[in-house]
Amino acid sequence: QGQLVESGGGLVQPGGSLMLSCEAPGRDFSDYARGWFRQGPEKEREFVAAISWRGRRTYYADSVKGRFTISRDLAKNAVFLQMDGLQPEDTAVYYCGAESSVLGSTALSDYAYWGQGTRVTVSS
């Protein structure tokens, strides 16, 4: 843990957008699938989006499909989550993870590496 660093969270009004970034200083995760999870107030951590090791496959939770887009930049060893149409129910701490399968996973238990999280608050 602690080998991934998220950034880009903040306070945004409903309907607004944010882009989260996840970088991995000091370790090459280019051969790992990556994912984003979130944990809202008094909720368990839940899957948001995942991307395969070369970026050819993406997966989304039904609650964010059509609003969020996951992408990765292999050269920068980074993963991004573009979030549009944010709603109050998207308020959570967002965590970036890395897991060793090449296809990507929606399962929390598959992720061995995590960042510390970045907080997103959607409120008017």
- Tens digit of each residue's pLDDT (9 = 90 or more) over 16-66: 999 999 999 888 898 999 999 999 999 999 999 999 999 999 999 999 999
Predicted local distance difference test score (pLDDT) of residue 2: 54
Query: Residue 1: pLDDT above 90?
Result: no
Handedness of CA 46, 20, 86, 83 (dihedral sign): negative
Report pLDDT for 117.
Answer: 97
| CB-CB neighbours of 80 under 10 Å | 21
